[in-house]
Amino acid sequence: MSLPQFAYAAPKTLEEALALLAQHRGDARVMAGGTDLLLKMERRKLAPAVLIGLKRIDELRYIRFEPEQGLFIGALARLSDVVEDAIIRAKYPAIAHAASRTATVQIRNMGTVAGNLCNSSPCADNAPTLIARGAKVELVGAQARSRWLDLEKFFTGPGATALAPDEIMRQIHVPCPPGGSAAAYQNISARSKVDISAVSVGVHLTRRDGKCHDARIVLGAVAPVPMRAREAEALLVGTGMDEDVMRASGEMAAREARPISDVRASSEWRREMVAVLTRRALRQAWDSIASAHGGIVNR
């Protein structure tokens, strides 16, 4: 199937891109890698009059780590860049792992993390771990307008975000990992390894004095948007994270999930997998913390 007709603009600066977006307000779409957008256009789910390509805007192409502030991922950083970046692999391994689980090698070499988030699919692989790590996104508009938003609040529904029609996501910020903490990502597809996730779970744990001090559990593909399993998180805080506690947390997360049945999986299967993957992710993160401190605890 061919694409609908459109005009194409290739600005060289962010200011030019924002001016074009304001000029064609409501009739234009921004494109980074295009792996999601072009597919939607081919299927006639979208038909923008103008595509604004960001590929020539080098100022958006970066991955930067600042010891006092944390990780910054520019809008044009590809998924493969995140997978291969040495600092991300060392300090944010769960983020690299989530990016590596996104689609195929070919798509990872074209698609961007920012684009994956702006597509706002409930099953976006990169969202759960980034939300669990407390990520924020910077949204910029015309006249140098800029605002930061918790990634958790960025998603407003399937395919819908908090982006205003004249805004572009400039970058993603992930805070420095606190001491005694670790994150993990688990996902599963009911059909094939390259299919989109039928269920995904991102967790982040912090340990103090041998007990769980803070916990975040984020579920993907089991609700209209990536969702925090807050009751499941509350079960963990103050505990020594033994197997019974992790199992109970996984079961609670499954009860909090709001899955649907579709061509990829039934709601019942998804709910069962939430419990399993939550437990696995919790164990992986907790063992990572313990390993960094010289041993495995509460096995």
Separation between Cα atoms, residue 81 and residue 15, nearest integer Å: 25
Contact call for residues 95 and 183 (beta carbons, < 8 A) = yes
- Residue 167, amino acid: E
Separation between Cα atoms, residue 236 and residue 213, nearest integer Å: 8
Q: Over the stretch 136-185, which tens digit does the pLDDT of each residue have?
A: 999 999 887 999 999 999 999 999 999 999 999 999 999 999 999 999 99
In the block, tokens 């074209």 appear at 110
Contact call for residues 137 and 169 (beta carbons, < 8 A) = yes
Q: What is the mean pLDDT of the chain?
A: 94
Can you give the pLDDT at residue 191?
66
Contact call for residues 54 and 31 (beta carbons, < 8 A) = yes
Digitized pLDDT (tens) for each residue of the chain, 299 residues in all: 689 999 999 999 999 999 999 999 889 999 999 888 988 989 898 899 999 999 999 999 999 999 999 999 999 999 999 999 999 999 999 999 999 999 889 999 999 999 999 999 999 999 999 999 999 999 999 887 999 999 999 999 999 999 999 999 999 999 999 999 999 999 998 666 567 899 999 999 999 999 999 999 999 999 999 999 999 999 999 999 999 999 999 999 999 999 999 988 999 999 999 999 999 999 999 999 988 865 544 43
Separation between Cα atoms, residue 217 and residue 237, nearest integer Å: 12
**Chain-centre distance for alpha carbon 273:** 19
* Greatest CA separation for the chain: 61
Can you give the pLDDT at residue 298?
42
SS3 assignment, position 100? helix
Separation between Cα atoms, residue 287 and residue 283, nearest integer Å: 6
SS3 assignment, position 29? strand
Give 226-245 as a DSSP string. Answer: -EE-HHHHHHHTTS---HHH
The domains found in the chain, sorted by start residue, are: 7-53 (3.30.43.10), 58-174 (3.30.465.10), 181-292 (3.30.390.50)
**CB-facing half-sphere around the CA of 295: CA atoms within 13 A:** 4
Length of the chain: 299
Taking Cα atoms as reference points, which of 291, 286, 277, 283 lies closest to residue 128? 277
Retrieve residue 214's tokens. 């803070």
- Residue 259, amino acid: P
Can you give the pLDDT at residue 194?
61
